[in-house]
Amino acid sequence: MKNSVMNTKKTLLTAAGFFLSATMGMSAYAADPAYNAAKDQADANYDAAKAHCDTMSGNDKDVCIKEAKAAKTSTKANAEVNHKTMEAKKDATEDKMDAQYKVAKEKCDMLKGNEKDACQERAKADYHK
């Protein structure tokens, strides 16, 4: 029975690791789909592990279920951290772009006429405004 518990644990950890690495490779702009997919996969992995645990009995079954729940919780927690990190990176990038746009726009203020207009248009294009 210990071998089957260990195999279940290895399978759950491998799946959790795979999903974490897959979601971490996604861009900040795809954070929500990756986050939802990671949560769904955690649930699916748990269901599969629990079905395996149901073939056991006694303490081995109890341990197996606890390990399955722990893996699910861990995977969901990692997905949450990744989601929040990606959102924070996206917000930081937007804040930096806004700040740089303000600097570029201020530099345009020393110009006059068509030069100023062209400078402001370049700043808008460069900083996606």
Domain extent for 27: 2-126
Which tokens in the block code for residue 91?
A: 């917000």
What Cα–Cα distance (Å) separates residue 121 from each residue in 35, 95, 104, 109, 111?
37, 20, 10, 12, 13
Domain count within the chain: 1
**Cα dihedral sign for 21, 25, 29, 34?**
negative
Q: What is the pTM of this model?
A: 0.58
Q: How does DSSP classify residue 32?
A: H
Per residue of the chain (129 residues), what is the pLDDT tens digit?
555 544 555 544 444 444 444 444 444 445 579 999 999 999 999 999 999 999 999 999 999 999 999 999 999 999 999 999 999 999 999 999 999 999 999 999 999 999 999 999 999 999 988
